[in-house]
Chain A
Amino acid sequence: MGPRPHAGGRPSSLWAVPAISFFALFALFPMAVVVYLSFTKWSGIGAPVWSGTANWAKLTTDPQLSQSVRLSVLLTVVSWLLQTAICLPLGVYLAGHGRARALLAAVFFVPLLMSSAAIAILWAGLLDPNFGLASVLGPLVGVKDGNFIGDPQLAFWVIVTVVAWQFVPFHVLLYQGATRQIPVQLYEAARIDGAGRLRQFTSITLPQLRHTIITSSVLMLVGSLTYFDIVLILTGGGPGTATRILPLHMYLEGFRAFDMGYASVLAVLLLVVGTALSLVVTRVTGFNRMESQKEGL
């Protein structure tokens, strides 16, 4: 493949083939197998037995499904709102300089270094109603017996909190880094024009952070749909089914009740919704058009 005289030596599609093939083999092909499994009855041992649409029909009779879907949607939306509301201002604030901010930023990053298992185990200890932090803080916030994680009403919000605790550092960093790259000239020009701090934030910072908001949001939304490590280890979907979000429901159906066929149906459902969400968000916001935000400066 020698130098081509036209259109600037663009790489052929061959460059993408190794990555695509590798990804296809270990991620896409198994997904296809899972689609196949959704039409079979299989407990994990022996061979899958074709069962047609029986598993899909189970979608209409599963008493747990609507709650799991509702919980997942709620978790996704609440997490996105909560985390963005925290991360954006924090990230912008930390983009400034000063020792205090540097120290804060240093500590903020630590949860990101911990694995989900580590975080879940730590919080399980904290939330012990008799010996953990919950026993001390509970009475202060109106939960007399420190029963956060055992209360069906509160357990969901515990999950929201722990997941936020885990992922806020990451998104704060995204916003912090992106804010640091906003050229100072824009702010100076605005100040000369007499714009106050709030106006600068809404007219300069926010628009310049558009790409970051989209990246961060896509990661948050799609991540919340499929992530369940923390929920599994911390509440196991309980108390009762108060935190049994959809991906956890899928896991429990597959690996506790050993109904791999139906679990595969739920997996396919998650995939379809997650993909659609990802594609819609990126298409609507023009993210996939490969433009540089720096053009025109």
Chain B
Amino acid sequence: MTGTIGRRVASVAAVTVVGLTLAACGSSGPSATNSKAASGAGSVWVLTDASLNPVQQTSIDAFNKGATAKFTLSNYGNDPYKQKLQTAIGSPNQPDIFYNWGGGNLAQYVDAGQVADLTATLNANPGFRAKFIPSVLDVGKIHGKVYGLPMQGVQPVMMFANADVLKKAGIDTMAITWDGLLADVGKLKAAGVTPIALAGSQSWTELMWMEYLVDRIGGPEKFQAIVAGKAGAWSDPAVVGALTKVQDLVSAGAFGSNYSAVGYDNQGTQALIAGDKAGYELMGSWEVSSLNGSFPAFAKSAALEWGKFPTVAGGTGDPASLVGNPSNYYSVTQKSPNKAAAMKYLVDTLTSDTYAQGLMGIGQVPAITGLEKKVKTGTFAGFNAFTYALVGTAPSFTQSWDQALTAATSEKLLTNLQKIFLKEMTPRQFVAAMGS
């Protein structure tokens, strides 16, 4: 008897649980009362960045002073951020403004109808619009409409070198051609140092090599074909040629032997170059302020040099073209209850003198026109001026591939590229693995 009663109670309980759950699923949704909206509070989600976050906070505080809808800033580390955003967007917990990388990263949200179109706002503020560097603003456009506005400094990728190490190996100036680089590799190896520092455990650092080589050999159109998903885009000779050159470098011992265990996030490569153990490093322009944080003596010394990526003999790409992060972008969520206030914040802040000054104060080069004289300030005046000029005169500025492509493709790209650098895969196999 106990058994039967028990069983009946149990089944009733089970049904109740399931029923309640289904009921809960049905009742609430994005239209449910959003307590945030009621109190007029908005949120801005950004990446954790010790030097940038205070600048962002200051601009938000300034905006909040005169506003009814007040914003708060929330910051997250890199990987958790992407995951969080993915699960939150479209739900009541989504932010009003969110930081993103433009390109394919932003496109997936746009295609899901979750991002507000800012084109109209831009057109209504022509002065505001004109202040952005065009090639950088373009990366915030999806299907021709503006969905993201540049909010950070330009970050092209360039070659860095330790002049002292180079001199000791008998090299006077940084290489400007590919053959010159290969020759330097030989000399540096003979001098007993790692010719090029590479954080092989984090494949986005390896991606920079592939990006530049494809651009130098075949021009930016080759990558644009890949983004557009054109048939045969991956098997283009420029891609195969770039990968072959990469493997030539590896075979020549350019990266040393333990590069696949070296990390970037734990200052592995910085320690090598600042510690006179490596000659070259290919990295984004943030490397200078980062070096300044961990190896200030080296960063401020004359030993730190920078220059463009070498040209490749017989290549059709323009030597002045760039790859890297044109900027990072702020976008507004479509279902945000504070859309108007969010857009006003963006228009008021992003090209204002205070904000630009704040960025320059932390060593960044804003994506705003007309700053030639202003950027030439601070500890790294020379570097800032160089970077600014580089971006201003670049015929094209290709976004980092892992931001421009869909998540699934870039995940595959990074994994397979690591295998190329480990010589576990031939260029032909890579092309086959990427699917065309």
Contacts and interface: CB of A to CB of B under 8 A. Distances in A.
Given A14-B6, A45-B89, A147-B257, A258 B201 contact: no
Given A147-B258, A239-B200, A255 B17 contact: no
Contact of A10 (B2, B108, B256): B2
B418 A239 contact: yes
Interface stretch (B116-124, B242-250, B315-323, B406-414): B406-414
B408 A145 contact: no
Nearest to A29: B21
B127 interface: no
B17 A24 contact: yes
A128 B112 contact: no
B90 interface: yes
Nearest to A238: B418
Interface in A73-125: 124-125
B259 to A, nearest CB: 7
Given A130-B272, A145-B256, A238-B418, A12 B6 contact: yes
A43 B201 contact: no
A61 to B, nearest CB: 11
A257 B109 contact: no
B9 interface: yes
A130 B258 contact: yes
A25 B271 contact: no
Contacts of B262: 128-130, 150
Contacts of A259: 408
Contacts of A148: 261
Interface string A115-157: 0000000001101111100100000000011111111100000
B302 to A, nearest CB: 25
Given A150-B262, A241-B419, A255-B86, 10 more contacts: A12-B6, A24-B17, A45-B89, A45-B90, A63-B433, A124-B263, A130-B271, A147-B257, A150-B261, A240-B424
B297 interface: no
B114 interface: yes
A294 interface: no
Contact of A150 (B86, B258, B407): B258
Q: Which residue of A4, A128, A148 has the most chain B CB atoms within 10 A of its CB atom?
A: A128
B27 interface: no
7 contacts: A29-B18, A45-B90, A128-B261, A128-B266, A130-B258, A147-B260, A150-B262
Given A241-B415, A255-B83, A24 B259 contact: no
Contact of B422 (A20, A130, A239, A252): A239
Interface string A10-25: 1011100100110011
Interface in B10-66: 10, 13-14, 17-18, 21
A150 B200 contact: yes
Contacts of A252: 411
Interface of B: 2-3, 5-7, 9-10, 13-14, 17-18, 21, 83, 86-87, 89-90, 108-109, 112-114, 200-201, 203, 256-263, 266, 268, 271-272, 277, 407-408, 411-412, 415, 418-419, 422, 424, 433
Given A45-B86, A147-B261, A257-B407, A240 B422 contact: yes
Given A46-B90, A147-B258, A149-B201, A240 B415 contact: yes
Contacts of B10: 13-14, 17, 20
Interface in A238-297: 238-241, 252, 255-259
Contacts of A145: 256-258
A44 interface: yes
Contact of A4 (B2, B13, B257): B2
Nearest to A235: B201
Contacts, number: 125
B112 A127 contact: no
Interface residues of A, number: 46
B266 A21 contact: no
A240 B108 contact: no
A44 B258 contact: no
A25 B17 contact: yes
A140 to B, nearest CB: 15
A151 B10 CA distance: 55
Contacts of B2: 4, 10, 12-13
B422 A14 contact: no
A127 B14 contact: no
Contacts of B108: 43, 45, 258
B258 A17 contact: no
Nearest to B2: A12
B21 A239 contact: no
Contact of B260 (A10, A21, A151): A151
| Among A20, A24, A241, A256, residue most surrounded by chain B Cβ atoms (within 10 Å) | A256
Contact of A152 (B257, B408, B424): B424
